């Protein structure tokens, strides 16, 4: 199937690992020239350009955008996957220090705002573009596992909808994709924070913990993979998704349906 994006330029923030890296590879397979922006950039297979970018720093984001367009051409696809968790386990939320909230919101919310403020004007001027924000099912169901992360992802969904309304007259589409249970470093950090809170006799290995959770909350009963999420992001970024905007799309094995 021709997705109509060969030769276009994309930026993927947080593209050095996990879902971001899978998205870089899948877009590149479709002929897209992909710039990876990451705080700790690594050599990413299939990337046309790799840059060190701190999304919390507006000047860093602005400079990276200018460098990307100078080296690769006008950016028509933006995928924002850069995010962090608090590193703490909820149940209840008072387990998480207030200081952790500020750090999560600076990266996950202010980082999104910075990227949006730099990308949108350029896309508006050209009257074309697709923006996909990586959110989470945690942002839809009040997940207690990591309350700052859940709240920040709810903010991502809401702001993406605001953007979709503002940018639609310019032919720019904005959508959110919400992964469910995916084996990423962020997911493992959640397990580690849970593990540290449990008495020795109740601790489970990562695989046992995940299997138990999937059995309880995911109707399809299996992990989602980074490639599963990347496939949806790639579709939304393509001409095949030309009538999709302002949507929050779950790739979660039915998890939100279950809730």
**Which positions are annotated as active-site residues?**
149
Would you say 74 and 122 are in contact if contact means Cβ atoms under 8 Å apart?
yes
Question: Which residues neighbour 122 within 8 Å (Cβ) at sequence distance 6 or greater?
Answer: 65, 69, 74, 75
CA distance linking residue 165 with residue 17, whole number of Å: 31
Q: Using CB atoms within 10 A of its CB, is residue 54 exposed (0-12), middle (13-18) or buried (19+)?
A: middle
CA distance linking residue 93 with residue 132, whole number of Å: 29
Q: Roughly what angle, to the nearest 10 degrees, separates helices 226-236 and 18-29?
A: 50
Q: Which of 126, 129, 120, 188 minimizes the C-alpha distance to 159?
A: 120
Tokens representing 61 are 């984001």
CA distance linking residue 123 with residue 118, whole number of Å: 9
Tokens representing 21 are 């890296």
């Amino acid at each position: 199937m021709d997705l109509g994006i060969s030769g276009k330029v994309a930026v993927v923030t947080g593209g050095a690992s996990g879902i971001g890296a899978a998205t870089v590879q899948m877009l590149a397979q479709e002929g897209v020239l992909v710039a990876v922006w990451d705080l700790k950039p690594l050599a990413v297979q299939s990337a046309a350009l790799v840059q060190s970018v701190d999304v919390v720093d507006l000047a860093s984001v602005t400079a990276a955008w200018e460098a990307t367009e100078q080296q690769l051409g006008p950016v028509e696809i933006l995928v924002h996957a850069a995010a962090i968790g608090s590193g703490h386990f909820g149940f209840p939320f008072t387990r998480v220090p207030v200081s952790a909230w500020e750090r999560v919101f600076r990266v996950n919310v202010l980082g999104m705002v910075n990227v949006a403020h730099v990308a949108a004007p350029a896309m508006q001027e050209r009257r074309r573009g697709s923006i996909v924000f990586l959110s989470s099912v945690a942002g839809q169901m009040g997940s207690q596992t990591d309350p700052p992360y859940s709240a920040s992802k709810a903010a991502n969904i809401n702001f993406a909808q605001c953007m979709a309304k503002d940018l639609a007259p310019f032919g720019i589409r904005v959508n959110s994709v919400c992964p469910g249970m995916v084996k990423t470093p962020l997911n493992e950090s959640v397990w580690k924070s849970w593990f540290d809170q449990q008495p020795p006799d109740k601790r489970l290995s990562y695989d046992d913990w995940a299997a138990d959770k999937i059995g309880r909350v995911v109707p399809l009963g299996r992990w989602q993979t980074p490639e599963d999420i990347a496939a949806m992001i790639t579709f939304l970024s393509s001409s095949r998704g030309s009538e999709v905007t302002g949507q929050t799309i779950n790739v979660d094995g039915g998890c939100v349906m279950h809730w």
